[in-house]
């Protein structure tokens, strides 16, 4: 490791030097604890007795070699403070850890698994001009072994006191997840954080092991197997990571060497809104730690992309624009993203950011943050607000659905309907739709068609595709029993068709970020709540029409150009529990000099493919 680069925040592979490194006859342990009085390693290989470590390099690093230490053995660092007290810490660079509530690090041989995904790794891209349809997933609650997959829970259903017995392993979930993603038309899966973390309720966003794949679902090699299998099925894999804050458990990073080493020393900026500790990005060794963790998941596990949580809390002090830009954190993002992109071909770096900070997806040389995509939180909030509204008042919010295209080309946006929108009393996506149970489905179909025809890459959280009506709970699997109910079953089939339609038609992704890929035809239909636009690629053109009020409308179409258009999808088709039946695909013929009335059902959308002049 380049010690100078480590201090300057330029190191990307600190994990190859620090931590517990297995050798032929034992293991070398190294840790960075500059303010420690002295440090020992304790573990199974010493009967949990102290084994002294020596100062090395500039005296701020500690090292020892333990003969006979082997993979699978537990250990910690006992770090003595200047006042004579000590704390037993887990290894910040450990590759594997005990499952909560136990806290020891575990030696693991990271060279033991051989990937078989060379073709995927060689040909993967950032999908800028390709389809990107992401299925966001919490691995512990997609499916669980302790819940009957076909039986609806009864009113007296109780969660097990210790939910850990219900998790599938990484390798076990592969046989269920891969065919499901392929059948449903998702070409990428995004896992919520898989680093080690102490509290299930944090979903992994408050970590203690930034290099340690959580033991909830098995061992590191089993996670590698899952990623490898996904790649062999031509499905990309994205991982949620957190570079903003960390859990405050005493065995973790908090006051690691007896002083605020990873965190800010002052509580006004040291403690986050979630009660965790904020990383101090002004320190080069902290920047090297974080970007090495990101490189680790990309290099060692072959992840294809990283989604960065709470980027706004990096850009602005405490996430508050009024407190100003955190220049050290901004420089960290710019340097890290540029470095990762230079080191790994075809990866994508995605920012979850709700701020208006400019240049999030611009290159570093243009003072940008060098992300590939930014979540369009404005689109998400405006769209859901519109569909929650009483239909007779939607004319007042008509431009909630047109506003996104006024700023869309400022960044490379991704449209998310994520886990954050289906928890904590917010209701699920289906439940957000105005009205009672049956009336929610046609609106949800129209919402999703609008989402997939709108420019921008796509992300949907698990359960959205089956019309989940219970808010997400990390302790329970998805309500797969809903397939027994016709409205949910037909909605799921609608989503499958929509996902595949998106993958199949280049007009929906080839020119997402080019102005000639989208054209408004009707963006002033406030009275009728009718929207019409066109999507184009180098190969095809799609015509998209929506009536989002509660009554049937006839749209007088007079575009000034002629063409022949074949219907691809209608949300009101009886196949999806709508009201229209089609014996053959409807064809629309347009003459440049004539008006063409088009009847649109309430809460409906249609998509046509141009098939001739």
Catalytic residues: 309, 352
Burial 41-80 (b: 16+ CB within 10 A, else e): bbbebbeeeebebeeeeeebbbbbbbeebeeebbbbbbbb
Q: How far is CA 584 from CA 53, 494, 568, 572, 580, in A?
A: 77, 18, 11, 15, 12
Q: Note whether 546 and 448 are within 8 A (CB).
A: no
Q: How far apart are the C-alpha atoms of 296 and 8, rounded to whole Å? A: 19
For residue 543, how many other CB atoms are within 10 A of its CB? 25
Contacts of 406 (CB under 8 A, 6+ apart): none
Which residues are paired to 533 by β-bridges?
520, 544
Structure tokens at 297: 């998941």
Q: How far apart are the C-alpha atoms of 1 and 190, rounded to whole Å? A: 31
- Residue given tokens 């943050």 in the structure block: 369
Whether the bond into 101 is cis, omega within 30 of 0: yes
Which residues are paired to 371 by β-bridges?
none
For residue 553, how many other CB atoms are within 10 A of its CB? 20
Contacts of 484 (CB under 8 A, 6+ apart): 152
Instruction: Specify the DSSP element, H or E, that contains 135.
Output: strand 133-137
Q: Note whether 338 and 370 are within 8 A (CB).
A: yes
Q: What is the 3-state secondary structure (H, E, C) of 234-293?
A: CCEEEEEECCCEECCCCCCCCCCCCCCCCECCCHHHHECCCCCEEECCCCHHHHHHHHHH
Q: How far apart are the C-alpha atoms of 46 and 59, rounded to whole Å? A: 25
Query: What's the first-to-final CA gap in the chain, in angstroms?
Result: 64
In 3D space, the residue among 86, 88, 93 whose CA is nearest the CA of residue 27 turns out to be 93
Q: Note whether 379 and 404 are within 8 A (CB).
A: yes
Q: How far apart are the C-alpha atoms of 477 and 15, rounded to whole Å? A: 34
Contacts of 521 (CB under 8 A, 6+ apart): 532, 533, 534, 543, 559
| Angle separating helix axes 437-453 and 377-388, nearest 10 degrees | 150
Q: How far is CA 417 from CA 139, 420, 428, 463, 474, in A?
A: 18, 8, 10, 11, 17
Q: How far apart are the C-alpha atoms of 276 and 319, rounded to whole Å? A: 14
Structure tokens at 328: 């050290």
For residue 567, how many other CB atoms are within 10 A of its CB? 17
Strands 236-241 and 245-246: unpaired
On the 0-12 / 13-18 / 19+ scale of CB atoms within 10 A, 464 is buried
Which residues are paired to 307 by β-bridges?
240, 350
Q: How far apart are the C-alpha atoms of 42 and 78, rounded to whole Å? A: 7
Q: Note whether 485 and 440 are within 8 A (CB).
A: no
């Amino acid at each position: 490791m380049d010690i100078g680069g480590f201090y300057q925040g330029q190191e990307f592979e600190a994990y190859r030097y620090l931590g517990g490194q297995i050798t032929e006859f034992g293991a070398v342990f190294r840790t960075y604890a500059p303010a420690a009085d002295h440090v020992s390693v304790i573990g199974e290989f010493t009967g949990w007795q102290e084994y002294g470590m020596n100062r090395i390099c500039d005296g701020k690093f500690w090292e020892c070699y333990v003969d006979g230490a082997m993979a699978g053995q537990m250990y910690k660092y006992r770090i003595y403070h200047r006042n004579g007290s000590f704390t037993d810490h887990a290894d910040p660079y450990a590759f594997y850890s005990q499952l909560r509530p136990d806290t020891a690090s575990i030696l693991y041989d990271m060279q033991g698994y051989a990937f078989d995904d060379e073709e995927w790794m060689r040909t993967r891209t950032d999908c800028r001009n390709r389809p990107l349809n992401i299925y966001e997933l919490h691995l512990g609650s997609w499916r669980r072994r302790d819940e009957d997959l076909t039986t609806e829970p009864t009113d007296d259903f109780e969660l097990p006191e210790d939910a850990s017995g219900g998790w599938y392993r990484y390798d076990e979930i592969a046989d269920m997840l891969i065919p499901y993603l392929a059948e449903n038309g998702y070409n990428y899966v995004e896992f919520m954080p898989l680093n080690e973390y102490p509290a299930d309720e944090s979903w992994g966003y408050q970590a203690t092991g930034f290099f340690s794949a959580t033991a909830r679902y098995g061992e590191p090699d089993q996670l590698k197997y899952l990623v490898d299998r996904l790649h062999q099925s031509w499905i990309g894999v994205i991982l949620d990571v957190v570079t903003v804050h960390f859990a405050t458990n005493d065995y973790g990073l908090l006051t690691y060497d007896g002083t605020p080493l990873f965190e800010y020393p002052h509580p006004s900026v040291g403690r986050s809104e979630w009660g965790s500790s904020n990383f101090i990005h002004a320190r080069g060794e902290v920047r090297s730690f974080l970007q090495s963790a990101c490189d680790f998941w990309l290099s060692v596990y072959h992840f294809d992309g990283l989604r960065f949580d709470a980027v706004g809390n990096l850009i602005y002090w405490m996430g508050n624009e009024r407190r100003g830009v955190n220049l050290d954190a901004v420089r960290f993002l710019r340097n890290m993203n540029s470095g990762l992109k230079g080191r790994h071909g075809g990866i994508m770096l995605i920012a979850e950011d709700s701020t208006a900070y400019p240049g999030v997806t611009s290159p570093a040389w243009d003072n940008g943050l060098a992300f590939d995509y930014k979540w369009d939180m404005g689109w998400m909030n405006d769209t859901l607000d519109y569909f929650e509204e009483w239909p007779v008042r939607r004319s007042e919010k008509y431009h909630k659905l047109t506003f996104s295209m006024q700023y869309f080309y400022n960044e490379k946006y991704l449209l998310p309907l994520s886990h954050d929108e289906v928890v904590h009393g917010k209701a699920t996506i289906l439940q957000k739709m105005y009205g009672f149970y049956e009336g929610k489905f046609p609106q949800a179909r129209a919402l999703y068609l609008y989402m997939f025809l709108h420019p921008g890459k796509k992300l949907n959280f698990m359960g959205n595709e089956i019309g989940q009506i219970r808010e997400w709970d990390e302790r329970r699997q998805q309500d797969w029993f809903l397939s027994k109910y016709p409205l949910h079953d037909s909605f799921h089939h609608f989503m499958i068709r929509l996902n595949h339609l998106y993958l199949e038609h280049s007009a929906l992704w080839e020119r997402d970020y080019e102005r000639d890929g989208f054209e408004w035809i009707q963006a002033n239909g406030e009275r009728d709540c009718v929207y019409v636009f066109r999507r184009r690629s180098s190969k095809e053109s799609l015509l998209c029409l929506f009536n989002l009020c509660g009554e049937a409308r006839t749209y007088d179409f007079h575009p000034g150009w002629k063409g022949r258009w074949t219907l691809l999808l209608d949300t009101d088709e009886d196949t999806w529990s709508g009201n229209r039946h089609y014996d053959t695909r409807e064809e629309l013929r347009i003459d440049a000099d004539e008006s063409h009335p088009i009847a649109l059902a309430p809460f409906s959308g249609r998509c046509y493919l141009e098939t001739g002049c």
